[in-house]
């Protein structure tokens, strides 16, 4: 877990602080499959800008995520450029919109913030290629390597009574 101590940063309104930080990222689990960031410590740029009413935090990094393709389960890798921004008011007065969930007791939880920002940037499906054909629903073979079709399957005998009723209508 990577935590940044905010006590080390003393800014006046309009000033900005920049630092390169290696942020520890945990694997993500999506649809029961694990996706690992490689490397698990990503070089990131943290920027803190002091505004009149609070502070603006920016975290930018690029990550390679390794895991199975959603359709065919082949090993796949995607590269994502993450640019996340958070705001923390000087006096939030209990308003959740003015507080960052990653700041607590003058510490900024960079690992949790980076993980959540990564999760928000993920595509709907992680595929090894955009035209992945997936697996055959009948036999389970990889349709990318062996495209094929199956003859029409015999009807399930449990539906025979309904087929008879359909014939009477």
- The continuous run of DSSP H or E covering 83 comes out as strand 75-89
User: Would you tell me how many other CB atoms lie within 10 Å of the CB of residue 12?
Assistant: 6
pLDDT digit string, tens, across residues 51-87: 998 999 999 999 999 999 999 999 999 999 999 999 9
Cis peptide before 24 (omega within 30 of 0): no
DSSP letters for 85-115: EEEEES--TT-GGGS-TTEETTEEEHHHHHH
The structure tokens listed for 32 are: 């029961």
pTM for the whole thing?
Answer: 0.79
pLDDT digit string, tens, across residues 113-152: 999 999 999 998 999 999 999 999 888 899 999 998 887 7
Q: Are 66 and 77 in contact (CB under 8 A)?
A: yes
């Amino acid at each position: 877990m990577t935590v940044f101590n905010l006590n080390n940063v003393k800014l006046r309104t309009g000033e900005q602080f920049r630092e390169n930080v290696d942020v520890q990222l945990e694997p993500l689990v999506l649809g029961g499959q694990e996706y690992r960031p490689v490397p698990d410590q990503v070089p990131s740029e943290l920027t803190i800008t002091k505004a009149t009413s609070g502070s603006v935090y920016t975290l930018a990094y690029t990550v390679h995520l390794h895991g199975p393709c959603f359709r065919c389960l082949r090993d796949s890798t995607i590269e994502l450029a993450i640019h996340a921004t958070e705001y923390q008011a000087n006096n939030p007065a209990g308003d959740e919109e003015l507080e960052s969930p990653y700041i607590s007791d003058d510490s900024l939880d960079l690992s949790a913030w980076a993980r959540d920002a990564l999760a928000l940037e993920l595509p709907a499906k992680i595929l090894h290629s955009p035209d992945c054909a997936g697996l055959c629903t009948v036999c389970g073979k990889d349709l990318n390597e062996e495209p094929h079709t199956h003859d029409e399957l015999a009807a399930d005998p449990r539906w025979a009574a309904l087929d008879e009723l359909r014939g009477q209508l």
